[in-house]
Structure 1
Amino acid sequence: MATSHSPDDHSEDAAPLGGGSLHQTLPQDLLDQCAREPIRIPGGIQPHGALALLRDQDLVLIQASANLGTVLGRTIAPYDNPTLADVVGNDTTLESDVRRWAAGGDATFLEQYQIDGRIFHITGHRTPQGLILEFEEFDESERGRSASFYQLLRDFLDTSDGLKTIADLSAGVAAEVQALTGFNRVMIYRFDEDWNGTVIAEKGDGTLPSYLDLRFPASDIPAQARDLYRLNRLRLIPTATYTPVPLVPTLCPVDGAPLDLSFAALRSVSPVHLEYMRNMGTTASLSISIVIDGQLWGLISCHHAQPRYVGPQIRAACDFLGRVVAQQVAARERAAEVDERLRLKGIETELVAHLARAAGFQTGLVDCASQWLALTNSAGAAVVTDGIVLAAGRAPPIDSILALSEWVRARNVEQIYATDSLSAEWPPGKDITTMASGVIAIPISRLHASFIFWFRPEVVETVRWGGDPRAAKATDALGRLQPRQSFESWKQVVRARAQPWRSAELLSAVDFRGAIINFVLQRAEERAQLTEELQRSNKELEAFSYSISHDLRAPFRHIAGYAELLGEEEPELKALSRHYLQGIIAAALSAGELVDDLLHFSQLGRTSLKMTRIDMAKVMIEIRRSLDVDQRRQAVEWDIGPLPAAWGDATLVRQALFNLVENAAKYSRGASPPRIKVRGQDRATDVLYSVEDNGVGFDMNYAGKLFQVFQRLHRQEDFEGTGIGLALTKRIIDRHGGTLEAKGAVGQGATFSFTLPKRPTGGNRGLT
């Protein structure tokens, strides 16, 4: 028998468990050996009953356990092809009842019959190899208890509705099964996502040690054994020291294969498991499977220090309890899941409503950080779009988030990626476990590494195992599987794992992805519609501007021409009249210049750029020469520094620089003397040019108006011009992908700076 255990018997600060199941620490050959063990076709049964295989069409006995005659107390010659009537005698209705069952649709058969004065429980089930009947003699010691267990079941059903939590329900059913079966210890054993099992409830009489809250590795119940528990919900082992009863003949005569005993209550179990029981200090066991939605959720595991048999009636009552518990656990889990889904849906609705009013969903998420995090009950979150990261809460560094987004993109995630142990799947994740051991990622683009992330930090947990899980199985000198010897409490510190994501949280993330994609698509449609409308409006405006400009040029020329002719034809005009004529001529010429500038401005949006290398020093020489020719201007002191070459449309760039230099000359003509400084600076990807003057300057509070059409910061009477030059300059620089800035102070001059690319940028740019 195992000794009593203290939680501090053994402990170890083990390496992080990561995202894999602990049983993967076993060598692969042992795992393969577990998988190959023939637990469904053991070739024998346990000796507390007998088994018969009947041909389904005529109920002829074709295979039986070697003890069939001994158990029934009759002489049976299986090789003489006896019928069921020959086996059980004619003083029972068993044969006729089995014939009706075989012709019907029920999967199983369970009745009591008297055979030669003795009462037997007879169960049956169908297989492709024939009809299997199992015989167990009625235990008179159960007769007195059978009347009470119905009352126990009724009492449990009456009280179970009041057990609100799964822990309370588990404790209740453990006590109920212990009262029904009389086993020394009854445990409720729940599987996790890695198929490790934890004892979440226990009822015992003190004979066997307590395993409450201990965890057992998945290798204790291999995958094929778990699948058998799922299919056959009850398994009784009255004694772990039994000798299996073989089947006669060894192979089934129907197909020459071993008889499949998957659904047989008497099926002999693995010798490894029997040794496991003995090592644990238990002689008898009863397992009742808790199956929810076709999946094995857990076990009601009963242990006894001495041999113990419970008959089919009590086992049926336990099976009933197992089904009730499964339904109630499922109902509680579904109710909790529905409540959580409704709560998270409310948060999603509130968040999406806010995003609909936001300029962009990225900034909208940051503005509503609390709802964003609450959507999956996370501690941190981030959104990655076009290489830009916006984060909230406890999120990893930006570089780590960008690297993670590239890694997730490489996995071709379609809807969602989720893990509670990132470092086990992505090694660089070990550097961010304190913030992102748990990760949910939803893609929001098919082309780029654009994701919404939620993060959870690691939860450092001390797990108490029922024995060192690393020594779960071994082999003897002959290479045969051997179960572990010790079940003493063994502690392990688990790191780099976060609280697992619940189904409601994952569904919430998937739903939110749909909302975001719809939001992005809607905004894209709105932008496409707006772009289409803008393009149409621009075309109409350009056509209108061109038409107006073209049609106005002739009338203005006519006005100026007629005014000049009138002055020439009437030399005796009074001085006042001649002044009026000069005003008309000046206004007509000014209006003509305005029309020309408007025409140029409207055409700029339609012309393509002819990109080439530009010698800016040569361009500046031409501009200076053209301005020095104007005798109306005061002599300017020029300070022209080195001007590196640029890349652009030579004609347009010359126009832009000319406008800036001409403005500098115009607004500094009142200075004594006017000074203009022109500089160029070669930088990594572009060239910066500046034009500085010592003129009247401007108030920086109105700098935003400088580059707008018809916006002027000085009176027309003081400084001539149409108010289009700087707007035209900005459009030229924008089309080249550069920037234009202005700095100044009233009475202290102004500086205009612009950038141009140094080399080709891959094609022409449209208006920005």
Structure 2
Amino acid sequence: MQYSPPFGQADLTNCERELIHLAGSVQPHGLLMVLSEPALEVVQASANTAAMMGLAVDDLLGRALASLGGTAHERLRRLIASQDLSEPVPLQCTLGSGHSPGCFEGSAHRHPGGGLIVELEPSPPADRLSHDQLLRKVSAAVQRFSAAASIGALTDAVAQCVHDLTGYDRVMVYKFDQDGHGKIVAEVRDPRLESLLGHHYPASDIPQRARELYLRNRVRVLVDVHYEPVPLVPRLLPTTGQELDMSLCHLRSMSPLHLQYLKNMGVTATLVVSLVREGRLWGLIAAHHYSPRHLRHAVRAACDLLAEVISTRIAAIETYAHAQVAILVRRLEQRLVEATSIEGDWRLALLRNPRMLLQPLEATGAALFHEGEVLTSGEVPSTPELRALMQWIDEQNHEPPFACSSVGQQNPALESLTPTASGVLAVKLSTTRPDYLMWFRKEQLLTVTWAGDPHKPVIGDSPLDLSPRRSFAAWSELVRGTALPWTSSEIALARAIGVALVDIIVQVHAVRLLIAEHQLVQVRATVQASREPVAIAGVDGRLLFASDAFSQLVAGSLPPATLDDLAACFTEPAQLRQALEALRTAHQPWRGEMALRRAGLPDLPLGVRAEIVPGRDGTLLGFIVMLADLSDTQRAAAARRQLELSLQPVERDADEVIRAILTNASLAAMDIADGPGGPSVAPLLNEVEASTQRATALYGRMRLFDED
């Protein structure tokens, strides 16, 4: 079992496991109290209560909140009655008796082990941004984000809007890659500061525990990096005898390692806002200031709201990109089907035009491994090298597709491939044979600009010299033996092309069953093992063959012997019979949606596709019938209707901000629903609904600051 060092006792060898959520102290610009329920007595508090509210912590412990004077007790009781407090909820109140009790703003939430955590900061004096001005800025930002058509345009808008809203010296947008490394993709800064745009930061700069907390606590503020931590009294929570879990505390002290990291950069104050996509950390908005800076709670709430809107827009943009991928794949599929019917071999058509295959993926070469043959296009390694590469990829335990930007580094035995195939992207085309389509990229010398030398995390031998990375001067590294990494869009395109080719392969093999009886055994095995529900019928309508997937799909009915029997398996057999008759007479393909009867189960919605198979002399050889489960498509449609219904009640009484949020949600829903479909669409629409509801709730909480 790995040892997890207590807060403040980690070094660079074990900072990944530091218990940063058990900090046991707070930043000094606010106070923290833990109250028992239901009595609301103070059982734990930060040691700075004397400076904050004129009452020493020892005198405060054990006292009821009601005895402290002011409106805190009444306001907290109201929150308890109206909110579940599973996450921090805004709280404005006064504390103290007499003519001038202290005015505070902050939040309250329920501790997992019981009791309420109340965090309060002295209410700041009125600043340059009034509440109405803040709402107008939020509304304008939401509208600007909704208009962004690309990730680049969106992140540029995010950096500018957050800079205008918060006034920090530098605002950056980080995007994380699949390995956890961060890159600054957008920046707005004071002209006196050197630009960090395009700089990379190694994944080790943000430990995994910190990333987990970024998912739970979406907005974090550091007022002054040189602060002295204020301990909690007593150290252990009396009700549990354990350290206080401060995961959701805004005032929680930061790790000394992180503070040293910021000091090395010369940064004094920070704001970090999480950008979350499908439950994962997509990136961060990071704001730096070079003198102490406090951000009032209303502005933090606005940043939290904007982050939800940004995440929704990211989902819409990336899903729309996948929709464009689907269009490219459909065009490719159409060309290959046409070539198959004319020439009898889709493989030559695939590789004949290098531009069609290579340009969409910015590849320099490609190879098709199919039924023991190797066909190539563009610049590729030798055939023996290609077979060795294919065997190595086939042995890897990976989620398809296989993507690698440095084959030689991952397998030194294949280093000779580096000049022509340093990068490889491979999709598997068969479940029974090592059939692959692969794209290659040449070696490309890369100059990566890091914010400091990533290979030197420690300077000096003395423990007192411990620092994350002392120098943050731009450090360039020349990377050899690697190609440009494959982007997520390129990987999605490769996956979609692979799926289309699998579909084409099934169709071609189905045709072969009709025109080449001597190849029946081999072709039958291929079709039988496919995941496509496909059946073949002769000119007389008699079913000659059905794949296992097809048979399993109609297993609830009697095994059909003819197309007429197949029609009887559906709830409206006449519709399919009429379509099949037209297919026989007019020789036109047909597609439709029907419901399959299933004994003891609900009817199953299916897409039915019937194709004619002409012979080379123009005579009709037979038909191919393919089925597709439409359950996920209908769930996506239902999710969209649910989203539309959930937005209607809010829209009637919406003000400008709410209308902007709803417009953003509607645009996101349209982009997602116009995507390629499949099982991922319904969860994405549900995520848009949940995100919109949370953004609306956050806006409602913002309005609480305007109650007084």
- Cα displacement string for residues 707-732 of structure 1 (whole angstroms, at most 9, x for unaligned residues): xxxxxxxxxxxxxxxxxxxxxxxxxx
2:95 corresponds to which residue?
115
- 1:132-211 maps to which residues of 2 (within 5 A)? 132-142=117-127, 145-211=130-196
Distance 2:136 2:497 in 1: 50
Residue 431 (structure 1) aligns with: 416
1:49 aligns with 2:44: no
CA drift of 1:75 comes to: 5.2
Counterpart residue type for residue 365 of structure 2: G
Alpha-carbon offset, residue 90 of structure 1: 6.4
AA of the residue aligned to 1:380: G
Q: CA deviation at 1:118?
A: 2.3
Decide whether aligned partners of structure 1 residues 321 and 508 sit closer, same or farther in structure 2, where only a CA change above 3 A counts: closer
Amino acid at match of 1:223: Q
Does the residue aligned with 2:246 lie in a helix, a strand or coil? coil
Q: Match of 1:85, SS?
A: helix
Pairwise CA distance, 1:210: 2.5
- The answer on 1:355 being equivalent to 2:350 is no
Q: 1:398 is matched with which residue: 383, 394, 402?
A: 383
Letter in 1 for 2:319: R
CA contact (8 A) 2:25 2:230 kept: yes
User: 1:323 Cα shift?
Assistant: 2.6
Deviation at 1:521, TM superposition (A): 4.7
Q: What is the one-letter code of the residue matched to 1:53?
A: V
3-state SS of 1:491 partner: strand
Q: Aligned partner of 2:416: which letter?
A: D
Q: Select 2:200's aligned residue among 197, 204, 215.
A: 215
Determine the C-alpha separation between the residues in 2 that align with 1:187 and 1:208.
13
In structure 2, the partner of 1:553 is: none
TM-score (norm 2): 0.65
Name the amino acid aligned to 1:81: G
After TM superposition, the structure 1 = structure 2 runs for residues 45-84 of structure 1, keeping only pairs within 5 Å, are 45-74=26-55, 77=58, 81-84=62-65
Q: Equivalent residues in 2 for 1:591-740 (5 A)? A: none
Which of residues 20, 26, 31 is equivalent to 1:39? 20
* Partner residue of 1:93 out of 74, 93, 114: 74
Is 1:129 the counterpart of 2:113? The answer is yes
3-state SS, counterpart of residue 469 of structure 1: coil
Q: Which residue identity is paired with 2:88?
A: T
Q: 1:76 & 1:533 partners in 2: Cα distance?
A: 91
Cα deviation for residue 243 of structure 1 reads 0.8
SS at match of 2:168: coil
Q: Which amino acid aligns with 1:310?
A: L
CA distance in 1: counterparts of 2:287 and 2:499, whole angstroms? 48
Asked if 1:283 is matched to 2:263, the reply is no
The offset of 1:260, in angstroms, is 1.0
Relative distance call for 1:173 and 1:375 in structure 2 (3 A) is closer
The match for 1:721 is none
**Residue in structure 2 matched with residue 314 of structure 1 by the alignment:** 299
Report if the CA contact (8 A) 1:344-1:375 is conserved: no
Matched, 1:365 2:345: no
Q: For residues 714-760 of structure 1, give each alpha carbon's deviation from its aligned partner in whole angstroms, at most 9, with x where no partner exists.
A: xxxxxxxxxxxxxxxxxxxxxxxxxxxxxxxxxxxxxxxxxxxxxxx
Change (3 A) 1:494 1:146: farther
**Equivalent position of 2:224 in the other structure:** 239
Residue correspondence of structure 1 range 290-309 to structure 2 within 5 A: 290-309=275-294
CA distances 1:122-146 after superposition (whole Å, capped 9, x unpaired): 3012231232111111011537554
Q: Identify unmatched segments of 5+ residues in structure 1.
A: 1-28, 536-768
Unaligned runs of 5+ in 2: 1-9, 521-708
How far apart are the structure 1 equivalents of 2:402 and 2:519?
40
How many angstroms does 1:364 deviate by?
4.1
C-alpha separation in 1, matches of 2:337 and 2:362: 17
Alignment of 1:420 with 2:405, yes or no, is yes
In 1, the alpha carbon distance for the partners of 2:223 and 2:172 equals 17
- Structure label with greater radius of gyration: 1
In the alignment, the residues of structure 2 paired with residue 468 and residue 380 of structure 1 have an alpha-carbon distance, to the nearest angstrom, of 34
Note the C-alpha offset of 1:409.
2.2
Q: SS of 2:161's equivalent?
A: helix
3-state SS in 2 of match to 1:195: coil
Q: Distance in 2 between matches of 1:168 and 1:414?
A: 31
Once the two structures are TM-superposed, the CA of residue 230 in structure 1 deviates from its matched residue by 2.2
Partner of 1:332: 317
Tell me the CA shift for residue 110 of structure 1: 0.7
In 2 relative to 1, CA 361–254 (structure 1 residues): closer, same or farther, beyond 3 Å?
A: farther
**1:298: how far off?**
1.8
CA distance change for structure 1 residues 431 and 362 in 2, over 3 Å: closer, same or farther? same
Match of 2:19, SS state, is coil
SS of corresponding position for 2:292: coil
Indicate if the aligned counterparts of 2:49 and 2:56 stay in contact, CA closer than 8 A: no
1:531: how far off? Answer: 6.5
Q: 1:148 to 1:445 in 2, by over 3 A?
A: closer
> Is the 8 Å Cα contact of residues 429 and 437 (structure 1) preserved in structure 2?
no
Specify which of 457, 467, 482 is matched with residue 482 of structure 1: 467
From the superposition, tell whether residues 51 and 506 of structure 1 become closer, same or farther in structure 2 (CA, over 3 Å): same
Kindly state the Cα deviation for residue 325 of structure 1 after the two structures are TM-superposed. Answer: 2.6
- In structure 2, the CA distance between the partners of 1:204 and 1:374, relative to structure 1 (3 Å rule), is closer
Q: Measure, in 1, the Cα distance between the counterparts of 2:424 and 2:134.
A: 49
- C-alpha change, 1:119 and 1:80, in structure 2 (3 Å) is closer
Distance (Å, rounded) in 1 between the aligned partners of 2:437 and 2:426: 6
- Hey, what's the Cα distance between the residues in 1 that align with 2:89 and 2:501? 56
Per-residue CA deviations over 1:100-127 (Å, capped at 9, x if unaligned) read 146x476332121122332211301223
What is the TM-score when the length of structure 1 is the normalising length?
0.61
CA contact (8 A) 1:61 1:78 kept: no
Q: Percent identity?
A: 35
Separation of aligned partners in 2, 1:428 and 1:534: 38
User: Is the alpha carbon distance of 1:505 and 1:226 closer, same or farther for their aligned partners in structure 2, counting shifts above 3 Å?
Assistant: same
Structure-2 residue corresponding to 1:705 = none
Contact (CA 8 Å) 1:414, 1:443: kept in 2 or not?
Answer: no
Equivalent-residue separation in structure 2 for 1:140 and 1:167 (angstroms): 37
| Residue identity in the other structure for 2:300 | R
Q: Take 1:390 and 1:36, find their aligned partners in 2: how far apart are those partners? A: 50
The CA RMSD over aligned residues, in Å, is 3.0
Deviation, 1:470, is 1.0
2: CA distance, partners of 1:516 / 1:91 = 66
1:258 matched to 2:239: no
**4+ residue segments displaced more than 6 Å:** none
Q: Aligned AA for 1:110? A: P
Stretch moving more, 203-212 or 487-496? 203-212
What amino acid maps onto 2:248 in structure 1? F
Measured against aligned partners, the alpha-carbon deviations of 1:306-335 in whole angstroms (never above 9, x if no partner) come to 111111112222222333333333322322
Per the alignment, residue 363 of structure 2 pairs with 378
Name the residue aligned to 2:611: none
